[in-house]
Amino acid sequence: MSPSRTDPPTVYLLSLNHSGAPGIAGGYINLPAPTTPYTLRFAIKGASSICREGKLWINVPEGEESFEREKFHAIPLNPSFGRIQHIDIPITKPGTFCYYISYTPLPPFTTASDVEPPKPTRTEAYYITVSPSLAINGEPLSLSSLSVCSVLSKFLGPVEKWDGYMKYIADKGYNMVHFTPLMERGASNSPFSLFNQLKFDPIAFPGGEKDVREMVDRMEKEHGILSLTDVVWNHTAHNSEWLQHHPEAGYNRLSAPWLEAPYQFDEALMEFSRQMEKLGYPTELKTKEDLLKVMEGIKIHVIAQVKLWEFFILDVDANVEAIMEKWLSRESEGVVEILVTKGFNKDLPLKEKAQLLAKQGLKGADRLGDRFRKFIDPTVGAAYLHQEFGSPPSGNDPGSVIIPREGLKSILDEINLPFYKEYDADITEALEQLYNRIDYTRIAEHGPKSGPITEESPLIETAFTRLPLNEVTKKHDPKSLALANNGWLWNNTSDFASEKHKSYLRREVITWGDCVKLRYGDGPEDSPFLWDFMGKYTKLMAQVFHGFRIDNCHSTPLNVGEYMLDIARRERKDLYTVAELFTGDERKDKIFLERLGLNSLIREAMVAWGPAELSRLVHRHGGKPIGSLEQELVTRGKTTGDDREIIKAVSKAPIHALFMDCTHDNEVPTQKRTPQDTLPNGALSAMCDCAIGSVMGYDEVYPHLINLVTETRNYEVPPAALDDSTAGIANVKAIMNRIHSQMGKDGYTEMHVHHEDEYITMHRVHPQSHRGYFLIAHCAFGPGTERGNFNTVTLPRTKVKCMGSWKLEVDGSPETIKKVREDPTTLRGLPASLVKLEPPQIKEKGDDTVVTILDIFPLGFKGTEVDSYSVSGAEDAFSAVNLADLNFILYRCDAEERDSSGGKDGVYNIPGYGALVYAGLQGWWSVLKDVIKNNDLGHPLCQHLRAGRWALDWNVKRLDRLIEQGHKGLEGPAKWLRERFEKIKDVPFSLLPRYFALILQTAYTAAIERGISLFGNNVINGTPFLKGLAMVSVQMTGYTKSGSLWPTKEVPSMAAGLPHFSVEWARCWGRDVFISLRGLYLAIGRYDDAKEHILAFASVMKHGMIPNLLGAGRTPRYNARDSIWFFLQAIQDYTKIVPNGHEILQEKTRRRFLPYDDTWFGVDDPRAYSTENAIEEVIQEAMQKHALGIKYKEANAGPNLDRQMKDEGFWVEVQPDWETGFVKGGNQWNCGTWMDKMGESEKAGSKGFPGTPRDGAAIEITGLLYSTVKWLAALSSEGKYKWSSVKKSDGVDITFDSWANLIKQNFERCYYIPENPKDDVKHVIKADTVNRRGIYKDLFGGAKVYEDYQLRPNYAIAMTVAPDIFDPEHALGCLAICDKVLRGPLGIATLDPADLNYRPNYINSLDSDDFATAKGRNYHQGPEWLWPLGYFLRAMLIFDSKRRKTHEERLEMFQQLSARMEGCRHQIGESPWAGLTELTNKNGAFCADSSPTQAWSSGCLVDLFYDAQAMKV
C-alpha cells in the first residue's frame, strides 16, 4: 500500500563510524523501492577524523540526471564538536550506488615543527542498493510477491502459439515468465550459445523484434505477467560470424600469449584422439582398465612429445652463452656491487645463491608465454660470475672458462629446479582432470556415456575453437584464429582465461565446445567492437524485457556487468536483475550484489538431500521468525509540524532470494527423489517470503531434465483452462502462487518452520494482524506412503479453517517414464492427478486449536486475526516524570533496589542468563538491544518470556511498590505499562518476546527522550555520545534510604559509581561528587541538584575540610586533603555557569558541627545543626583554616574506622608554605588525595602502607588552590564576597590576590622539569632523580623525593583550573608527551610506564607476596583511569587553542579531541551499564574489579563538551 499524501516523508538513517564505513558490521545494505521517493540520511560524527578536509563522494544522480557510475558529486563535511552532521540524499531511482569519503588524516599531536603533514587519502568504497519498483499494469508488485516460471523458449514453437502457454502460466498464478535467450542460436542450437546477439530467433519470430515486443506487451496487458530474459555477456557461439571479423574479441595466442602452451597441449590431445585406433588404444572405453591404457598413451604421445616443460624453464645453454659473452666483454663490472649490497657472498649455499640471482636478474617469469620465455639478465648473470670467479681471463684459452661455465650451468639448473616442480604439479593436475573428465563422459554410470571416440566425439572436449580459414580470416594473423572456449570452473569468480590463471593448461575448465569466451579487457579501449556490440545487445534487451537473469554471472567480469547494467538501467530504470552465483561464499556473493545491484540470487529447493536440508533452506528463505524483533529498531522522527518525518534506522539486509522449487538446469523430483515429491517441494517453496519460481514442466511432472542442446521436441499444448482434469499439480500451484503473491503484497514477513521425520510444517504470518497460512507437507524423498511419527499440531490462541488437503497420484513406473521420455513429438509429464483428501481433524481447546493429520500430503490453514497492538501514548505517559523519577524508571542497581525495599527486592534474574544490571528499563534494554539486533529468539530472555508472564508482572508491581512509597511521579508510566502488558497477555506465547520488546523499547525510548528534554539545549542538540554521558547523571542520582545527603531528610544523592559505591557509607564521596558535579549537574542544567549537594556538604564542614565519605551527615569521615578544593572549585563553577549563580554565596545551611571547632559529636547531640552559616562563611572558614595550618587525628580513629590503616595514618596535617604559597600535607602513612589505596595484605607485608601517599604539595591541589584564591580575589573586588584576605599563623593578613601571585611566581620554578638540563638552574631540580624531562612534577616537597618527579595525570587538573600559572609552551610539550606515554584506549595511565613502580594490572581480590600489587595496592600505579581523561582533554583544548587561530586549525583541534574519546564513545554504547567504567588495566584491558559505571568518568567528559561548545571556532 503506497503512502498517502498526508504521510510524513520517510528518512533512512545510516550512521557511519570513524572509518567512514556503515555502522553495520559486514552488512549488506538494501533499501526499498522508491515508489514514493525518500531520503537516505548519512549521520557522521562532526568531529570524526574523516571530516578533516573531508568530502563525501556519492554517485546518486542529482535531480533528473541519469546515473553514471563514475560520476561522483562531492558534499563537503563540516566538522563540529558535539554535533552529528547529517547529509540528506534524495532517493528517487533504483540501482546500486557507491560512496566514499576523501579526507586528510589527523597529524600527530605534537609541539614539533618539522613533522611531515599527512597526505590526503580516502576510504574504501561502500555500496547501497535500491530495489526496483515493479508493477503489472500499474499495480505495484513487491519483489517478495514475484512468482516466476522459467520457460525454455525454443520448445514453445513459433510465436503465434505462445499465447496459450502464457495464459496457462498466468492461470497457475505466476506473474513473471523467465525466457531463456530468444536470440538467433548458434550451430549447437543451445539457447545460451548465441549466433547473433542483435537478431531474434527468425524461426520463432519471423517478424523479428516487432513480434517479441508485441508478445511481451500482450503478456502484461492480457495475462498480467511480466517478462524476464537471460542475458549472455560472457561468451558467444563458436560459429558466430562476427568472430571471423573480430577474433580480438576472444582469447587467442595474440591477445592472450599465455595460452600458447594450453593451445599446443590441446592440439596434441586432439591429434592423439584422432590417432588412437592407429596407435592401438581402445576407442570405446568400457572399463577403468581401458581408461588407464589411454592415460598411458597421453603421457607417451602427448606429454612427452609436446615438451611443455619448455614453457616453464629457462634455456640453460642459451643463457650460459649470453651471460658468458657479457662477462667476457667486461661490461658488467659496474653492477657487481648491486649483488653485494643485496647480500651475495661466495660462502652462501648454492640454493641461496640461486634465489638471490633469480630475484635480481630473472626476466619473463610474470606469466607463461613462448617456450623458454624466462631468462637471466646477462648483465646480472655476468656480475654473478665476476663476484664468484673474479674478472674474466685476458687470453683466448678456452680452458680458462671451463670452471666458470660449469659453475654458471649449476646455478642455472638450481634456478630451474622450482620451475620443473611447478611443471610437474601442473601436469599432474592436468592428468588428474583428464582422467576424471574422460571417466565421467565415457564410463561413469551417472555420466552421459558418450560412446565411441570419433572425429565428431573426440576423447576430450577441445579447449579452443579454430576459426575457418577463408577470405575474411586469412587477413588476420594465424595465431589469432584459435579462440579459447568458455566453460565451467568451480568456485571461481575471476577471469580464468587471464594471465593469472593456468586453468586451461591444467585442464580444470570444463569447456563448452559451442561457446567462445569473450575477452573484454579492462575497458572499452581494450576491445572497442566487443563493448559496443554487446552494449547494443544489452540496450535492446532492456527495452523489451522487464528483467534480466545474468547467465554465467560469477564468471562474467565485474566491470563488464557494471557497464552493461548501467546501459540497461538507462533504458529501464526499474529493471529486475537476478543471477545464480556459484561462488560458494556469501561474502563473494555480496560483492556481486553490491557492484551489480542484483535484486535476487537464485536458490533452489531441489539441491536438498533430504527433509532436514529442505527445512533448512525453507527456513533460510522463508522470512523472519515469528515474533521477530528486527523491525522494532525504528527511530522516531519529528511527528508534528511541516518538517515532520519518519526516521528508520538502516539495518543489515538479508540477501533476497528467487527460491525455485526446480531450475531449468537441475534434475526434477522424478529423477532425484520421487514423482510424488513434486507437490510438497513446490508447496513449501511457495510459502517463502521471497521471490519464488519454477520451471515449465515441473508442475506437469515431467520425468526428466530437458537437454537444452540436443532436445528438439516442443512442450505439450497447455489446457485452455484449469479444471479438475488438469494434469499434475497445476491447480494447487495456482492456489499457492496466489497466496504467495498476496502475502508478499500485504507484508506476511514472519514464519516458523518445523521438521519432524518426513514432515515439514511452515507457518507464515503477518507481524501485526497475525493472520497467517499454515502448511503441513509430507515429503517424498523416497518411496512409501506411511505417515510416520508426526505429532498433533497445537496452534495457541489461533482459530483455524482448512483451505484444502491434497495428495498427488502419479504413475511413476519405469515403463511409463520410458514411454513419456521417448514420445517422438512432445515434451510431456507423467500421468498425474491431484486427489482431494479428507480435511484433518480440527479441535478447539479454549483459545487453542489442535490439528491431527489424517492423511499424508500438504494442507493449508488460515489463522484468525489478533488485534493489532498499539504502543502509542508513551510520550504522554512519561511527560510528567522528573529526573529523580527517571532514576527509578531506568536504572537502580541491585543494592539500590534492595535499599529501597528493605532488602526484599533486587534486580530481575532471568533463568539461564542471570541477573540484570539494573531493575529499571535500562537493565532490560541492555539485554534486549542485542537480542533485537541479532533477532536472537533463542536467547534465554525470549525463552523465559515464552514460558510465562512473570517479567511483565514484575515490572508493573515494582513501579506500584515505589508509588506506594510516595513516588507519585511514577503513576503515568506504571499505568501505561500495566495497560499494554494486560493486552499482550492474550497473544500466543511465541509472540510474547516480540511484544515485550516492542513495549519495553517504546517505554525506554520515551524515558530517555524525557530525560534529555529536561537537560539544557547543549545536550538536547548534542551527539548521542553526549546524551549518553548526560544520562549518567540520572543513573547516578536517586533516592536511597541509607545514602541521603542529610541525616533526617531523604533527597536524591549522587553515587560515586555503580554498583560498588551505591548505598550507605560508600555512596557519597566528597571528592567524587565535586569532581563530577560540573559535568553531571551544572553543564547539563541540573542546577537545583548541584545546589542541594553544595549545601549538604557545606553543612558538614569540619577542620576546614569537607568529608571524604559523607555517611548521610551521620558519620562523615575527614581523611581527604583534596576534597575541599574540588568542593570550592564546584562552587566557583556554580557561580559562573548558573544564572545569578553568585547568589548561592548567601544561601544558608545549618552546620552539623560547630564552626571553627574541631570537636566531634553525634548527630543526635543538641549541638548538631544548631548553627547556621551562609556558603560564603563556610568558604572563608576553609580558607582561614588552611592559612593557619591544620592538624588533627581523625575522630573515632582505630580499626572500627579503618582496619587497614596504621595509627600514624589517622593523623591529618596540612600546612601552608608561605615561601611558595603552596599548601602541603599528608605523610607516608596516609593517602589524602584521590590516589587513596591503602595496602591491605598481611601476606605481602603491605598492610598499612599506602600505595600512593602523595604527601607534600600535590600539583592538582596547588592548581585548585590558585584557582580558588584568584576567584575569591575577583569576587571581593566586585563586592560579592565579604573578605579580601586571611590571617596567617604569624598574625599577618595575606590578601587572596597576594596569595595567588605568590603561587603563580613559584609554580613553574618548583614543578616544571626542563626539557634541556641546561635550564635546570632556573628550577628546583634534583638532576639525579629526574626520570623524564619536559613534564611537570606530580608533587613538590614530598618525603620521598623520587615521588615528586613521577609522571602522573594530575598535572592536567591544574592546567584546566589554573592555566595561567603554566608556561603555554611547557604545558603543550607535557601534554604531547603524556598523549604518547600515558593515554590508553579509554583512560589515562596513573603512572609513567618507564617508572620502576609501574604496575598496570589491578586485581583487588588477588593476595600474594608481591608488596606492590597484593590486594590491589597498585590501584593507582599504572592502571588507566577514565576520569582524568576529561581533564587531560580539557587541558589540550585550553593550550592547543592558544596556538590555533584559524578556523581550520580550530577544527583540527576538535578532531584531535574527538579521536581521543573514541574508546569511551564505543564503551558507553556497548556497556550494559550504559556508562563509563572506573578504570581499565594496561592498554584498555578489561578490569574485573573496576566499577562498571562511575560518575566522574562520564561527568568529566561532559565538562569537555561544555568547554568546547563555548569556544569559538
Instruction: Take residue 219 and report the three cell numbers written for it.
Output: 503478456
| Distance between CA atoms of residues 142 and 146, nearest Å | 7
Q: Which of 554, 656, 752, 967 is catalytic?
A: 554
CA distances (Å), 328 to each of 392, 404, 666, in order?
6, 11, 68
Round to the nearest angstrom and report the end-to-end CA distance of the chain.
48
Q: How many C-beta atoms lie closer than 10 Å to residue 4's C-beta?
A: 7
SS3 content of the chain, % helix, strand, coil (to 5): 40, 15, 40
CB of 75 within 8 A of CB of 92? no
Rounded to 5 degrees, what are φ and ψ at 1456? -60, -45
| Distance between CA atoms of residues 629 and 807, nearest Å | 36
Q: Is 554 a catalytic residue?
A: yes
Q: Which of 413, 665, 848, 1217 is catalytic?
A: 665
What's the one-letter identity of residue 298?
I
Q: How many C-beta atoms lie closer than 10 Å to residue 411's C-beta?
A: 22
Q: Is 693 in a helix, a strand, or coil? A: strand
CB of 36 within 8 A of CB of 3? yes
Residues 6+ apart with CB under 8 A from 914: none
| Distance between CA atoms of residues 1038 and 1055, nearest Å | 8
CA distances (Å), 1488 to each of 560, 1303, 1491, 1497, in order?
55, 41, 8, 17
Residue 1436 half-sphere exposure, CB side, CA atoms within 13 Å? 31
Among the listed residues 206, 201, 210, 208, the one whose alpha carbon sits nearest the alpha carbon of residue 179? 201
| Distance between CA atoms of residues 760 and 739, nearest Å | 19
Among the listed residues 517, 533, 505, 501, the one whose alpha carbon sits nearest the alpha carbon of residue 465? 517
Q: Is 1061 in a helix, a strand, or coil? A: strand
| Distance between CA atoms of residues 794 and 773, nearest Å | 14
> What are the E-state strand segments in 720-828?
750-756, 759-765, 772-778, 793-795, 800-810, 826-827
Residues 6+ apart with CB under 8 A from 970: 881, 885, 888, 889, 959, 962, 963
Among the listed residues 1043, 1038, 973, 960, the one whose alpha carbon sits nearest the alpha carbon of residue 1005? 973
| Distance between CA atoms of residues 624 and 748, nearest Å | 10
Rounded to 5 degrees, what are φ and ψ at 46? -60, -30
Cα radius of gyration rounded to whole Å, the chain: 41
Residues 6+ apart with CB under 8 A from 1385: 1463, 1480, 1483, 1484
CA distances (Å), 376 to each of 317, 353, 381, 392, 914, in order?
12, 14, 6, 19, 70
| Distance between CA atoms of residues 905 and 915, nearest Å | 12
Rounded to 5 degrees, what are φ and ψ at 1383? -75, 130
Q: Is 551 a catalytic residue?
A: yes
CA distances (Å), 646 to each of 12, 36, 38, 804, 994, in order?
8, 13, 10, 42, 21
The vertex-623 CA angle with 802 and 581, nearest 5°, equals 125
Q: Is 1164 a catalytic residue?
A: no
Among the listed residues 999, 1001, 1000, 1075, the one whose alpha carbon sits nearest the alpha carbon of residue 1036? 1075
DSSP annotation of 373: -
Q: Which of 377, 551, 574, 1440 is catalytic?
A: 551
Catalytic residues: 551, 554, 665
